[in-house]
Amino acid sequence: MSKLHIETTINREPAEFLCEPHETVLSALRNGLGLTGTKEGCATGDCGACSILLDGRLVPACLVLAPEAQGRTITTIEGLSRGDALHPLQQKFLEHAALQCGICTPGFIVAAKALLDATPEPSEEETRYWLAGNLCRCTGYDKIVRAVLDAASEMKGSAA
């Protein structure tokens, strides 16, 4: 079986890769393109470690077939910082100690970005329900939720 040639945009740059028809975007990112910041925790869409933005929409990369990326726009954790500047969510995760082992962190930050893109001033409850698709086993979520809420208020301040 020959591989498929896929052209897409990843983190604001044109990208292309070869994949098997049944391969996932997660596999294409990690194995084909070397973008290992997107993690695999379950491969069944239950843990959120592989959260990416596909045309701006939050999806688990393990549940999207790689050929479906043709002509689409993908944002991964590697695309959040700009030059020397971390994204405010990245900075707040550091300041709030919102990570312990860190394996879920890329997925949480991408998912939280999708939340703040749609809802710049989320309540704690909105934040908790939005992030319910991302599993963290280390933190009990307390510091993660605080980091996201603090990033939201800072981003609102800098936008004003």
Residues that bind other proteins (CB under 8 A): 20, 30-31, 34-44, 46-47, 49, 76-78, 80-81, 86, 90, 93-97, 99-106, 109, 124-125, 127-129, 131-146
Please report how close the Cβ of residue 125 comes to other proteins at its closest, in angstroms: 8
Please report how close the Cβ of residue 8 comes to other proteins at its closest, in angstroms: 18
Please report how close the Cβ of residue 21 comes to other proteins at its closest, in angstroms: 11
Dmax (CA) for the chain in angstroms is 54
b/e code 131-159 from CB counts within 10 Å (16+ = b):
beebbbeebebebbbbbbbbbbeebeeee
**Strands 73-75, 4-10: parallel, antiparallel or unpaired by DSSP?**
parallel
Closest to other proteins by CB, 30 or 160? 30
CB of 62 within 8 A of CB of 103?
A: no
